Structure 1
């Protein structure tokens, strides 16, 4: 069982990473490069309305936030300046790092998807995998994005720890709420699930200063829409590929069955 689960997760994660990485390079990477030009002062634009702080192309797949933490100062740094976070160099290093991060995230989410299917007593198949993958997209990508949209470089943000805590809380509450509504289905479970879905957004995402940005307003909107679209495709491929790979790995060899 464990070998079958890991094998199917590796296949699904690899296929999803290949598709998502290609879409990231084609759709979101150009926006990130353009935003970095505005951040460094190489390009200018009218002040835009505030949007949250920038993240890597895989921000909705591997939910880590790159760039500076604007929420406070770092001890031990001369002048009280915030120590810059490590980032891969431009060009090939960034492409490789993005692809590896997407691959690790894909395999990890595929393992989680498979474990959830088994724990819920569902036989993995492409159809079942797709349904659970859509739930994963809702919990991990769409619900957190309602409070913390995918972010381009050069935008202000709340402290990193607060953003990460709110993301984890929202993803966990949404996943549990969907489980209660779609799996348990009793009136009490449905009511509790609705409460869990709404609670993180009633609490509110971490707030930050509404500082103006040099980025054109359309950049942030395009990046958010494209990132969510890529995340949906990423999760859909994971679900379909995991169901297919699970049945392929578990299929008995005819020669073995007649032995």
Structure 2
């Protein structure tokens, strides 16, 4: 069982990673590069306008989003008067950047496929393409769509709340959404459905952490386009994981039965 799950997850993750990496490089990477150009221009203007003897050092933090899912973005802030620090490492432009994008997508895809398969088996569902797709849509809603309603995917240079606050809100949104969908889709009793709806709505009633009131160099249209494309790519990513997991599971099951008969 475990070996079959691992094999199916590897196959599904590879399929999803190949397609999603191509979509990322075509649809979202050009927007990230354009945003980095705006970010660099803003940093240079701020450095030129700063008083003499007051260094402005970019402080980079890496924030991974679904996939998030699963595109690594570098958000820049400015620490006035802080000691000089080396910027965070990033892959070089061109082929190194594409290779690391593909590798990160592959690792995330296999991990999510394993998690998705384990959840299906724990719920008593045999992985099939139809069941896999249904659970994958629930995974997309929990990991990408629901958190994205409060914290949409952000480009480098976007104004953002503190990283710890965003991570905490992401967890407090993704986990209740997943549990709520489980109660609605699997339990299906009236009380379970009502409880599931409450779990899904509460994080959004509480609200996501808001960024500081400061202007961003990025055009609003660029940020909106990136958020929309990222969510669309994430949906394709999850759908391929679910379908691929179901196909691979059935394929390995059929081979196992043939080997047992032989």
TM bin, normalised by shorter chain, reads 0.7 to 0.9
State the distance in 2 between where 1:113 and 1:102 align: 16
Residue of structure 1 in register with 2:214 after alignment: 211
State the distance in 2 between where 1:239 and 1:60 align: 16
State the distance in 2 between where 1:178 and 1:255 align: 37
Residues 38-92 of structure 1 deviation map (CA, whole Å, 9 limit, x = unaligned): 11118xxxxxxxxxx996687521376533467xx6xxx9825676433222222
State the distance in 1 between where 2:65 and 2:171 align: 19
Residue of structure 1 in register with 2:143 after alignment: 140
Does residue 9 of structure 1 match 2:12?
A: no
Residue of structure 1 in register with 2:58 after alignment: none
Q: Following TM superposition, where does structure 1 have runs of at least 4 consecutive aligned residues deviating by more than 4 angstroms?
A: 53-59, 80-83
Residue of structure 1 in register with 2:223 after alignment: 220
| Aligned match for 1:96, one of 75, 89, 99 | 99
Does the aligned pair in 1 maintain the 2:67–2:237 contact within 8 Å? Answer: no
State the distance in 2 between where 1:68 and 1:82 align: 13
Structure 2 unpaired stretches of 5+? 43-60
Residues 170-223 of structure 1 deviation map (CA, whole Å, 9 limit, x = unaligned): 111100000011111111111111110011111111122132122221101110
| Aligned match for 2:259, one of 229, 235, 256 | 256
Residue of structure 1 in register with 2:55 after alignment: none
Does the aligned pair in 2 maintain the 1:54–1:151 contact within 8 Å? Answer: no
State the distance in 2 between where 1:234 and 1:187 align: 32
TM-score, normalised by the number of residues in structure 2: 0.86
Distance 1:66 1:41, change over 3 A: closer
Residue of structure 1 in register with 2:69 after alignment: 61
Distance 1:158 1:80, change over 3 A: farther
State the distance in 1 between where 2:256 and 2:167 align: 46
Distance 1:69 1:168, change over 3 A: farther
Residue of structure 2 in register with 1:25 after alignment: 25
Q: Secondary structure at the match of 1:95?
A: helix
Distance 1:150 1:13, change over 3 A: same
| Aligned match for 2:82, one of 79, 83, 91 | 79
Structure ranking higher in strand proportion: 2
Does the aligned pair in 1 maintain the 2:67–2:234 contact within 8 Å? Answer: no
TM-score, normalised by the number of residues in structure 1: 0.87
Residue of structure 2 in register with 1:123 after alignment: 126
| Aligned match for 1:160, one of 163, 167, 177 | 163
